[in-house]
């Protein structure tokens, strides 16, 4: 065999080894081919492209309900409707609160059944997480949720595609109040009002320690700044849109 042919054979063998090693790594670590080879990464909706001074606030409901009624009273006081994302075990534990939230005109979203990291689940398991919570909510308010917020803010292409197949818009946030951390009401108010822009989706929790303190201040400040506060379902674009690399939903 000539030197030229031998070198060519060596290169081919090395290339095959590299490809084999790459495929093995993908299988071992559960990586997706579309991510490895550069296909677009799917994103949920973090915020919305709009010229209107319109924003949405949301509450994740997974633990406790002692602050829920005060939250609803404060929202009524300021004439604000918003979105509550609920986990199935919260729905089952506090059905009266679910009904009260709905009856007061607020939007209810799906926040999974068991609050898992859905990127670790199969398509079948994600579908079950969605469906079980959906059934629990429908059983109380007779209305199917169309918004889903992934627990821990964790997502990948497969989870987003599965949610969309099941009729859900996947919702994140671009303003995190950090109300679950050990910070003061004043710090929460400053953080939210300083970072809010038209089209923002703001994250709160229904069991946050200082919610009765920070919520009136935030609502008052946002309204004084000319913002209209609406449920997420009224803020997002339902058809003919794309999501840019920052997670902003933009009309086509």
> Could you list the active site residues?
60, 205
Torsion sign, CA atoms 233, 92, 80, 180: negative
Q: How many residues does the chain have?
A: 252
d(CA 140, CA 201): 26
196 φ, ψ to 5°? -75, 135
Measured distance CA(189)–CA(206) in Å, rounded: 16
Residues 6+ apart with CB under 8 A from 163: 126, 130, 148, 169, 170
Residue where the block lists tokens 């996947």: 170
Angle CA 63–64–65, to nearest 5: 130
Non-local (6+) Cβ contacts of 202 within 8 A are: 55, 56, 57, 58, 173, 175, 177, 192, 196
Using CA atoms, how far residue 51 sits from 29, 54, 107, 198, 228, in Å, is 43, 8, 23, 7, 12
Residue 19: CB atoms within 10 A of its CB come to: 10
Identify the H or E element spanning 96.
Answer: helix 95-103
């Amino acid at each position: 065999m000539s030197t030229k042919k031998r070198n060519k054979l060596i290169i081919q063998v090395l290339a095959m080894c590299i490809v084999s090693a790459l495929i093995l790594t993908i299988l071992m670590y559960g990586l997706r081919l579309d991510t490895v080879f550069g296909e677009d990464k799917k994103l949920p909706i973090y915020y919305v492209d709009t010229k209107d001074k319109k924003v949405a606030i949301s509450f994740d409901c997974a633990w406790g309900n002692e602050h829920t009624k005060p939250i609803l009273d404060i929202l009524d006081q300021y004439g604000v409707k918003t979105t509550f994302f609920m986990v199935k075990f919260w729905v089952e534990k506090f059905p009266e609160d679910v009904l009260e939230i709905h009856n007061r005109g607020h939007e209810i979203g799906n926040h999974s059944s068991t609050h898992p990291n859905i990127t670790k689940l199969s398509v079948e398991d994600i579908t079950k997480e969605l469906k079980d919570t959906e059934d629990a909510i429908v059983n109380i308010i007779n209305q199917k949720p169309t918004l889903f917020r992934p627990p821990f803010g964790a997502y990948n292409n497969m989870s987003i595609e599965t949610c969309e197949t099941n009729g859900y818009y996947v919702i994140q946030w671009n303003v995190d109040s950090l109300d679950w951390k050990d910070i003061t009401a004043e710090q929460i108010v400053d953080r939210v009002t300083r970072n809010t822009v038209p089209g923002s989706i703001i994250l709160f929790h229904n069991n946050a320690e200082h919610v009765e303190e920070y919520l009136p201040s935030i609502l008052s400040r946002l309204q004084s700044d000319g913002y209209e506060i609406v449920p997420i379902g009224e803020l997002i674009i339902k058809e003919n849109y794309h999501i840019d690399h920052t997670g902003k939903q933009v009309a086509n």
